[in-house]
Amino acid sequence: MKRWQWWLLPLGIFLVLVVFLGVGLTLNPREVPSPLIGKPAPPFELPQLHEPQKTFSQKDVAGKVWLLNVWASWCAPCREEHPLWVELAKANVAPIYGLNYKDKRADSIAWLQRYGNPYVLSVSDSQGRIGIDYGVYGVPETYVIDKRGVIRFKQIGPVTPTVLKEKILPLIAKLNENT
């Protein structure tokens, strides 16, 4: 490198830095992506919300593409996304299962009665242990799980119509095509 080019080094480093900072403006530093994508859904066996004497496990849905939605009656954003799930359930695209996170049974049942129940069934994770296994750190969160029980997508925060249309529905369609 010629002598005069050394003097340009600080400028060069600075410009590289600026490019990264510019890209950084488009990112969300608070979002924690899931390390579970591409890995098998963590196993669980939890009592069902409406029939607590019965349990449900992720094994029971093997062979189908399904959605796991983490929700709670005390969670305000859940109310925002809930109508979308109710709609989706009617469309019968994929079964939606609910993970009722750190909630009280009576409150949850009342909430579903009030806002509609799109879930095939919900399980009660009253201690939040299964939530931890799934890397849940806020509510709501949603997982798309394929026929072999592998997590393929995680939505952090409420699902929006755009996310549904552009990410979740196409993914479900693609996963359904594979045998």
Partner 1 sequence: MIPELGQFALALALILALTQGTLPLVGAARGMPSWMNLARPAAQGQFVFVAIAFGCLTYSFINNDFSVLYVASNSNSALPLQYRIAGVWGGHEGSLLLWVLMLSLWTMAVSVFSSHLPDDIIARVLGVLGLISVGFLSFMLFTSNPFDRLLPAAMDGRDLNPLLQDPGMVLHPPMLYMGYVGFSVAFAFAISALLSGRLDATWARWSRPWTTTAWMFLTLGIALGSWWAYYELGWGGWWFWDPVENASFMPWLMGTALIHSLAVTEKRGAFKSWTVLLAIFAFALSLLGTFLVRSGVITSVHAFATDPKRGIFILAFLVIVIGGSLALFAWRAHRVGLGGHFEVVSRETFLLTNNVLLVVAAGAVLLGTLYPLFLDALGLGKLSVGPPYFEIVFVVLMAPALFLMGVGPLARWKQASLPELAVRLKWAFVVSVVTALLLPLTMGQWTPLASFGLLLALWIVASSVTTLWSRLKQTPGASLSKKLRAQSRSYYGMLLAHVGVAVFVVGVTMVKSYEAEKDVRLAIGDTVELGGYAFRFDGLNEVKGPNYTAVRGTLTVTRGGAGVATMYPEKRIYNVQKNAMTEAAINTGFTRDLYVSLGEPVGDNAWVVRVQVKPFVDWIWGGCVLMALGGLLAVLDRRYRVAARARTREDALAAGAAAAS
Partner 2 sequence: MKIRKYLILLTIFLCAVTSAHAADDAALERRVQRISEELRCLVCQNQSLADSHAELAVDLKNQVREKLKQGASEKDVIVFMTERYGDFVLYRPPVKATTWLLWFGPGLLMVAGLLALFLRLCRRATLAAAPALTAAERARAAVLLGNHSEPDHR
Residue 26 binding result from partner 1, partner 2, none, given CB thresholds of 5 to 8 Å by partner type: partner 1
Residue 156 DSSP SS3: strand
Residue 8 binding result from partner 1, partner 2, none, given CB thresholds of 5 to 8 Å by partner type: partner 1
34 — phi, psi (to 5°)? -90, 130
Q: For partner 2, what does the binding mask look like between residues 97 and 136, x meaning CB under 8 A?
A: -----x------------------------xxx--xxxx-
Q: For partner 1, what does the binding mask look like between residues 19 and 48, x meaning CB under 8 A?
A: -xxxxxxxx-xxxxx---------------
Please identify, using beta-carbon distances, which residue of 37 and 84 lies nearer to partner 1. 37
Residue 37 CB, shortest distance to partner 1, in Å, is: 11
Q: For residues 4 and 149, give the distance between their C-alpha atoms in angstroms, rounded to a whole number.
A: 60
Residue 104 CB, shortest distance to partner 2, in Å, is: 14
1 forms part of the interface with partner 1 (CB under 8 A): no
33 forms part of the interface with partner 2 (CB under 8 A): yes
Binding residue (CB under 8 A) for partner 2 from 138, 147, 152, 167: 138
Q: For residues 172 and 179, give the distance between their C-alpha atoms in angstroms, rounded to a whole number.
A: 13
- Residue 46 CA to its chain's centroid (Å): 19
Q: For residues 82 and 142, give the distance between their C-alpha atoms in angstroms, rounded to a whole number.
A: 12
**How far apart, in Å, are the Cα atoms of 66 and each of 23, 32, 131, 144, 157?**
34, 23, 17, 6, 18
- The tokens for 58 are 């992720």
